[in-house]
Structure 1
Amino acid sequence: MKKLIQLFITTILMVTTANAGWFNNDKKQSDSHSHNDKVYTLKLAETWPSNFPIFGDATKKFKKLAEAMSNGRLKIRIDSKNKHKSALGIFDFVKSGQYDLGHSGSYYWKGKDINTLFFTSMPFGMTTDEQHAWFEYGGGNELMDEVYSKHGLKSVIGGSTGNQMGGWFKKEINSVNDLKGLKMRIPGFAGEIMSEVGAKPTNIPAGELYTALDRGTIDALEWVGPSLDFRMGFHKIAPYYYTGWHEPGTELQFLINLKKYNSLPKDLQTILITAMKLSAYQMYDQSEHESAKNWASMKKDFPNIKVKTFPKPVFDALRAANDKLLKKLAANNPLSKKIIESQANYLKKIRAWTAISDQAYLNSQSKQ
């Protein structure tokens, strides 16, 4: 008992001493912060309209996290498309310093720098989990820095939609010939691939998609997946819902003006990046949840939706077109070649693991 009492007293003394040290450290930190309590207000422009679900939620969560973690030393002002009037002007806004931050999609800027194309999602490429691993541990972030730093920008992951669906089609696709002349809303590198096999890709603003599909201006379109497709009503016009191939892990981006970033204290730089990444991971979870929820509703309320996968000859043609265009990109641009090889090598390595882990598990469950 005596030994227990002595142990108890010793523990109390150790805790008291430690608390005194923590108090002194907190006091020192408090004193130092009293000399550095400047509030930094950062303006963020987003591609999305006000209160846009999931994508817009990510920026709101980022704002809340950054302000809370900085104890109010960071203040974030978000301007949606309704305010700044240029959904695809985010790159220029942040580069010029008109805005400090942005939230958009990297592949929108391929006309400004072809190498921005690779950091959203590539056809037949990595899933979200695989791509996140590439960003963090496979050299992806470093390559993204190499591309964006030339423009005075820093790009950070901004939230994944997960695997996007291949789109809504009015007619069933049974062969490559069915794609020839097909008018389809499909952006990015996938649009170039569709053009290569004879389709007529176009990019139409989100607010005009339903009308364009309904009136026959387009024959098919891809948007995201059940998380965002359900509210658009495409299933009421085009009954064929094709599985994905073109964007297996679509990652949005936060953009940061490097000059503004470098002017921030180091702790606020860390808080800024941490808040971005955490809100990005939360967006991925939200996207998965909303897709599961909405798909359940779609199956129940619209049983005529037909889920389809392109036949093998169609996939073969799309893959051949993809390989041809990637080789052309690599031949024309050394940095493109570097990124393409990095992604291909990492995909080969990580897909071997995916095949005997997630894929094998799902395959085994489907056989039961």
Structure 2
Amino acid sequence: MIRLTHLKKVVIAAACSMAIFGNAQADDKVYRLKMAETWQTNFPIFGDAPRNMAAMAEKMSNGRLKITIDSANKHKSPFGVFDMVRAGQYDMGHSASYYWKGKVPNTLYFTTMPFGMTAPEQYAWFYQGGGMQLMEKVYGEFNLMSFPGGNTSNQMGGWFQKEINSLDDLKGLKMRIPGFAGEVLAKLGASPTNIPPGELYTALERRTIDALEWVGPSLDLRMGFHKIAPYYYTGWHEPATELQFLINKRSWDRLPADLQEILRVAMRTAAYDMYIQSYHESAENLAVIETEYPNVKIRTFPDDVMSALRKANEELLAEKAAADPVAKEILDSQAAYLKKVRRWTDISDKAYLNSISVSK
């Protein structure tokens, strides 16, 4: 073990201080970025992620990087974040990649996919399995950069006014459900739609829609859906919903290298922190639902419905891959990685849970 004398410690501390001071003197310019988020002001969990990121970036940069955030109720365009960041109206955005499928279809694969990877599996794909490079390929064409922006973990299948007992119950069902899952349900006769978060409760209460999926207990309880829809179904459609940080490439290039790295680390840390927060809040709020709202009926979709959903999903995936070589590249990458990583999940987490369940 190396033991430092008090003098040596003082010298080292002074040298570090001088180095830090010198770097600050070399570039003490304050860089200001504006971010637009899809969420309303003070929206929990989703809105916490960009604010935590901005606070970390400012602190790590010693005040040289400051990020201000405009919520949806200020910029008035919750689903316009892609366009606003692309145009340079905002330097950054916080939203979800699958919201842009109408503009750029290949963006939807970077949020989550039905019957796909869990959150740990998907993070491994992003950072170790080539997912980030594929996302760069898709967004780079639009002068944008996209980074993981926080995971909800496995989402619930939604709140329903009526119980789903068969495939016939999906026919004509008006449901708020975005992304690829909406296309899957449409193939089975449902009528999917997307609605901004702030309008969900009213739409369900007024029966503009028959059902909706939002997130899970972490956010659903405070939205009040349990008051107006008694059936709460387990998930199949979004096993690892990843939000995103969008950045205008010109805004990124204007930052010095150290601030780029600080921003990169702050985004990655805030994304992981949101995953932890969401998981915790879901556990807490599920306990509240089960103890304080016994009229809520938690259900799993019948086997024939699940089989039909899986079949429709596979057919749509094949169609997407056949129609677009970039889509095929992304989907092939996800499928290959899922096959590899799920084997480990099965003999680690799944085997563990099965073993302790039997031993009870």
TM-score bracket for this pair, using the shorter chain length: over 0.9
- In structure 1, what is the Cα distance between the partners aligned to 2:210 and 2:20? 62
Q: Deviations over 1:124-166 (max 9, x none)?
A: 1111111001001000111111111111111011001110000
- In structure 2, what is the Cα distance between the partners aligned to 1:293 and 1:12? 48
Q: Deviations over 1:42-85 (max 9, x none)?
A: 11110101000001111111111000000000011111111111
Alignment equivalent of 2:80, drawn from 79, 85, 89:
89
How far the C-alpha of 1:278 sits from its partner, in A, is: 0.5
User: Quick one: which amino acid aligns to residue 254 of structure 1?
Assistant: F
* Bigger Cα Rg: 1
Q: Deviations over 1:180-200 (max 9, x none)?
A: 121211111111100101111
Q: Deviations over 1:276-312 (max 9, x none)?
A: 1101111111101111111111111111211111111
Structure 1 gap segments, 5+ residues each: 1-6
User: Quick one: which amino acid aligns to residue 346 of structure 2?
Assistant: A
Alignment equivalent of 2:194, drawn from 197, 203, 218:
203
- In structure 2, what is the Cα distance between the partners aligned to 1:65 and 1:202? 36
Q: How does 1:324-363 map to 2 (within 5 A)?
A: 324-363=315-354
Alignment equivalent of 1:261, drawn from 243, 252, 259:
252
SS in 2 for 1:37: coil
How far the C-alpha of 1:361 sits from its partner, in A, is: 1.5
How far the C-alpha of 1:207 sits from its partner, in A, is: 2.9
Q: Deviations over 1:242-263 (max 9, x none)?
A: 1000000000000111111112
1:179 — aligned with what?
170
How far the C-alpha of 1:26 sits from its partner, in A, is: 4.1
How far the C-alpha of 1:25 sits from its partner, in A, is: 5.3
Q: Which deviates more, 78-87 or 17-26?
A: 17-26
Q: How does 1:86-165 map to 2 (within 5 A)?
A: 86-165=77-156
How far the C-alpha of 1:173 sits from its partner, in A, is: 1.3
- In structure 1, what is the Cα distance between the partners aligned to 2:76 and 2:287? 35
- In structure 2, what is the Cα distance between the partners aligned to 1:232 and 1:238? 12
Alignment equivalent of 1:240, drawn from 206, 228, 231:
231
Structure 2 residue 288 is the aligned partner of structure 1 residue 297: yes
User: Quick one: which amino acid aligns to residue 295 of structure 1?
Assistant: L
User: Quick one: which amino acid aligns to residue 302 of structure 1?
Assistant: Y
Contact 2:96–2:242 (8 Å) recurs in 1: yes
SS in 1 for 2:44: coil
Alignment equivalent of 1:24, drawn from 3, 12, 15:
15
Q: Which deviates more, 344-353 or 307-316?
A: 307-316
Aligned residues: 359
- In structure 2, what is the Cα distance between the partners aligned to 1:11 and 1:223? 56
The TM-score normalised by the length of structure 2 is 0.96
Point out 4+ residue stretches in structure 1 off by more than 3 angstroms.
Answer: 10-13, 15-26
1:48 — aligned with what?
39
Q: Which deviates more, 70-79 or 210-219?
A: 210-219
- In structure 2, what is the Cα distance between the partners aligned to 1:282 and 1:301? 28
SS in 2 for 1:357: helix
Structure 2 residue 283 is the aligned partner of structure 1 residue 310: no
User: Quick one: which amino acid aligns to residue 340 of structure 1?
Assistant: L
- In structure 2, what is the Cα distance between the partners aligned to 1:92 and 1:111? 12
- In structure 2, what is the Cα distance between the partners aligned to 1:206 and 1:56? 12
User: Quick one: which amino acid aligns to residue 119 of structure 2?
Assistant: T
How far the C-alpha of 1:176 sits from its partner, in A, is: 1.1
2:49 — aligned with what?
58
How far the C-alpha of 1:16 sits from its partner, in A, is: 4.4
Q: How does 1:263-282 map to 2 (within 5 A)?
A: 263-282=254-273
- In structure 2, what is the Cα distance between the partners aligned to 1:91 and 1:284? 23
Contact 2:91–2:247 (8 Å) recurs in 1: yes
- In structure 2, what is the Cα distance between the partners aligned to 1:18 and 1:212? 64
Structure 2 gap segments, 5+ residues each: none
How far the C-alpha of 1:231 sits from its partner, in A, is: 1.4
Q: Which deviates more, 16-25 or 351-360?
A: 16-25
How far the C-alpha of 1:28 sits from its partner, in A, is: 4.1
SS in 1 for 2:106: helix
Structure 2 residue 25 is the aligned partner of structure 1 residue 34: yes
Contact 2:39–2:197 (8 Å) recurs in 1: no
User: Quick one: which amino acid aligns to residue 178 of structure 1?
Assistant: D
How far the C-alpha of 1:22 sits from its partner, in A, is: 5.7
Contact 2:78–2:196 (8 Å) recurs in 1: no
The TM-score normalised by the length of structure 1 is 0.94
2:219 — aligned with what?
228
